[in-house]
Structure 1
Amino acid sequence: MGRDLDKARFSEEEFRLFGERLEEQLVVLRELLDRPGFGEGPVTIGAELELFLVDEAGRPLPRNSEVRDSLGDPRVVLELGRFNLEVNLTPLPLAGRPFERLGGEIQETLRMVDAAVEGGGALPIGILPTLDADDFTPDAMSDENRYEALSRGMRRLRLEPFLVKIDDLELSVENVILESANTSWQVHLRTPPDRFARLFNAAQLAIGPVLAVCGNSPLFLGRTLWEETRIALFEEAADDRDVERLYRKDGRVTFGSDWVREGAYELFERYVRDYDPVVPDLTAGGDPAEVPQLRLHQGTIWQWNRPVYDPADGGHLRIEMRALPAGPSCADMAANTAFLLGLTLAQAERDLTGYRFAQAYQNFYRAAMHGLDAKLSWPGRDGEFEAADLVLSLLPEARAALLGAGVSAKDVDDAFEIIEQRTKLRRTGAAWQREALKAFGGDRERLVRRYRELALSGLPVHLWP
């Protein structure tokens, strides 16, 4: 979904032909993944940062195309909502000082985008607190064919309105525009095919305690909801399961329902088998090894951890970790990345398929709801633990795994100091937002203006006043 399309409307014949292409390209992908030496190379990481644009009052500012055009930076692309932008950061080797370098590029690009917004600025936050219901009109969608095609494709499958129910909040919308309420910090980890299943399962386990210490989305439409309300909102705002698809266990945004047992192909095959196409573009062609339709289809299924096949440089696999929120600061996002990758690498050393998947699933949603107060379980440990205690107990093994991967001790320790202090002080972005809203007498605009000042400072959130 990263490139625009030539058109936004497709015929039923194009949907049929697209389905045939998917089946053909699955065969191609399987042959590629089985090829000796495929995907070998150094371990690299990458990231995508989604941002909100706001006016001087702190309200959403629908000018993403103007900001992108004024910057002329290929790293900056449009997102679904006119008040969103995405920055694609430079891939880095995991060995060395990746988190210091990553934090530096986050700060540089955040300030660059912020300076380009006339009459306002940019900020990284899971859900913008000043969003109101009237911000989600059809006119709020970015003017690109791919987003109109996505909306049309989803409505082709779901004839009913999209329903959102989170605690005491209930609303319905006619298209996918509510997806634009969520911005995330997405981390990529390159992995060889023979290690994919273990690393993917490890990421599924790791994300529970990591998300608990990273909450940054407590407010939506004037209500205080989950620590990571973004998780529930995205799942319900893009759920294509209407009365004709209730047989399907997972929505298009999902944690998943079982461990991976064979490898990446297992997930791609499941995506083709279980999910109807929504954007049946047939124009991309060229080298069969690029499997363009399969990659496009995969980009319309938003599993919180999902596989990525990239044909560049002979082809390789990545795990895209999509569950972390944007923000609060460059230091926080770099630290969150370090903890997530370190814990994933550590847990990949064990076979998790004997641990009940339902417990990893439960951990994820409990962390999204309750943050550091969540009760979580862990393989090899009896009972349940408060998330804050579990996080602190897992830091040493995550640190050891990063050191084993060649990350410098100072880079790891600088990042983990932030996680440790945030946990001990219980000062997540979500906690800061709740406290600030109370201190400012419920003034959401003032909260956003202050948040932006502090986010641009680069200070980690546990040091924010």
Structure 2
Amino acid sequence: MGHEVTRLKFSHRDRQDFREKVQTCLDALTTVLEKAEAEIPSPKMGMEIELNLVDENCDPAMVNAAVLADLAGPNYQSELAQFNIEINVEPRHLAGANLAALDSDLRASLDLADARARESGGRLAMIGILPTLREEHFEQKWMSADTRYTVLEEQILAARGEDIELSIAGVPLPGRSSAERLTTVAQTILPEAACTSVQLHLQVAPGDFAAYWNAAQILAAAQVVLAANSPFFAGKALWNETRLPLFEQATDTRPRELRNQGVRPRVWFGERWITSIFDLFEENSRYFPALLPDCTPEDPIAVVAGGGTPDLAELTMHNGTIYRWNRPVYDPTDARAPLRLENRVLPAGPTIVDTVANAAFYYGTLCSLARSDRPVWTQMPFASAEENLRVGAINGFDSVMQWPGVRAVSPQDLVRRTLLPMAEAGLEALGVDAALRDKYLGVIEGRARAARSGSVWQRECVASRERAGQSRDDALRAMLCEYLERMHSGEPVHTWSW
């Protein structure tokens, strides 16, 4: 998100200075990208996984400080709440057997973190939203001890001028005719911490960024349907992928009146296809006031003039507080390739093999879409891509999606007939071993054929337990305990029974 925040208060002048500094950073970025590589022959991928910590009863375990102290490594970091941690995966090339190496490294990282969690009375849960979270877990005392989280919360609540409203209407559980609705008010931003994700990164050459971003926007809906794993929040059965509306509402700086005026939310799909990465950075600076207006001494223009690569800390900080589902990232650690595309739509879990399969599907399909001679986004209104994502997050495999040439199509048919062949061709072009392409895309094909995601399994399992007489709390806890056993078994979710 940028440099560390140490200040607790900001003045009006701080905000004016920060706005001017962001514009200076944009000017410097123009020169930086002109000098960057025009092409990246073998781009690297990276991954971040946000995880929950639970106790022996599968309730949230507020022990992340102890777990991180035991891990004591740069690849393990805190998150907003004390029941969260994050694992960062070292960037790597996709070619050859690197998907298998990613699988192995993820297992090793998760096993180590789980072992340390158990020493502190907890264990890891790789799931989109922890089903046993209740409203009592969103009190201020459960926030991680990090100044940036405290300041961010203060700034969001100050911008709103009121508490955070959460209102989400769900879809009926299997065998039910009526839907449930969540309506509550939060006095902290901690409901955001319920949203644990897998974030996929890809190095992108400056000239190619627009095509890859547009392609990622097109692909987001299918990703969410295939990987949905967040159907419950605060005891309610809501969307198949409830992370999307929950994250938007939990970080919303707009009071109701500004929402009614159409002011843009900070969790944002966007509103148009782009022609340059500058479209995104300029929109961010034009539409969104700073939440953390903390300036550094760097003169980015002078750094560029001296032949160096600037940090652009203010641009990075501001960009890190605008949560696009596909976000541009400037990373000065690699002067040859300082841009990354960060894909944020995927929930965590259910298993390692599902996670790697989701990554393989994304990178392969993205490659084919971005390199197409007749790009899909030239044949499709931007609003249709946004509506696909919303409908897919609500209804999962029961959605109807819009796609050029076929108009209304089921996610199953779209994935199996159109997107999986693209994924196969894209992974082949990226040099991924044939056996690994077959293995991981086979998981995606099995999920689409069975129409069974983590969310489908969770909903069916809870509905079955409630039909057998269990209360909602008991059914959620029992389901999560069973989920954790299956998570460690490593069998892909489409093979799970209930």
Measured against the shorter chain, the TM-score band is over 0.9
Within-5 A mapping of 1:197-212:
197-212=210-225
Aligned to 1:398: 423
1:199, 1:344 within 8 Å by CA — same for their partners in 2? yes
| Alpha carbons of structure 1 residues 157 and 414: separation in structure 2 relative to 1, 3 Å | same
Give the stretch that moved more between structures: 245-254 or 96-105: 245-254
Tell me whether 181-190 or 3-12 shows the greater mean CA deviation.
3-12
Partner of 1:257: 271
Report the equivalent of 2:385. Answer: 360
Distance across 1 between alignment mates of 2:428 and 2:31: 34
**Residue 440 of structure 2: aligned partner:** 415
Checking the alignment, whether the CA contact within 8 Å between 2:36 and 2:206 is kept in structure 1 is no
Residue pair 1:183, 1:325 contacting (<8 A) in 2 also: yes
User: Matches of 1:166 and 1:96 in 2, distance apart?
Assistant: 44
Q: Structure 1 residue 208: deviation in Å?
A: 1.1
| 1:168-247 equivalence runs, <5 A | 168-242=181-255, 243-244=257-258, 247=261
Query: Which blocks of at least 5 consecutive residues in structure 1 are unaligned?
Result: none
For residue 35 of structure 2, give the secondary structure of its aligned residue in structure 1: coil
Post-superposition shift, 1:423?
Answer: 1.5
Q: CA deviation at 1:3?
A: 5.5
Per-residue deviation at 1:377? Answer: 1.4
| TM-superposed deviation, 1:41 | 5.3
Per-residue deviation, 1:116: 0.9
Residue 112 of structure 2 corresponds to residue 80 of structure 1: no
Q: Distance in 1 between matches of 2:10 and 2:70?
A: 32
| 1:284–1:293 CA contact under 8 A, matched in 2 | no
| 1:42–1:93 CA contact under 8 A, matched in 2 | yes
2-side partners of 1:359 and 1:226: how far apart?
A: 19
Q: 2:332 is matched with which residue: 299, 311, 317?
A: 311
Q: Which sits farther off after the overlay, 162-171 or 189-198? A: 162-171
Match of 1:386 in 2: 410
The answer (yes or no) to whether the contact 1:98–1:411 under 8 Å persists in 2 is no
| 1:151 match | 153
- State the TM-score, normalizing by the size of structure 1: 0.96
On the 8 A contact 1:210/1:391 being kept in 2, the answer is no
Task: Please state how far the C-alpha of 1:391 moved relative to its aligned partner.
Answer: 1.0
Pairwise CA distance, 1:139: 1.1
Q: What percentage of aligned pairs have identical amino acids? A: 37
Closer/same/farther in 2, CA of residues 305 and 31 from structure 1, 3 Å limit: same
Taking structure 1 as reference, are residues 457 and 285 closer, same or farther at Cα in structure 2, changes over 3 Å only?
A: farther
Q: Which runs of 5+ in 2 are unaligned?
A: 170-180, 304-309
Aligned residue number for residue 460 of structure 1: 492
2:460 is paired with a residue whose SS is helix
After superposition, residues 121-140 of structure 1 pair within 5 angstroms as 121-140=123-142
Alpha carbon RMSD of aligned pairs, Å? 1.7
185-194 or 431-440: bigger deviation:
431-440
- With 64-73 and 100-109 compared, the bigger mean Cα shift is at 100-109
Aligned to 1:373: 398
Change (3 A) 1:101 1:3: farther
In structure 2, C-alpha distance between the alignment counterparts of 1:282 and 1:93, rounded to whole Å: 35
CA contact under 8 A between 2:52 and 2:85: conserved in structure 1? yes
Count of residue pairs brought into register by the alignment: 463
State the 1:436 CA deviation.
Answer: 2.1
TM-score, normalization by structure 2:
0.89
Higher mean C-alpha displacement, 212-221 vs 438-447: 438-447
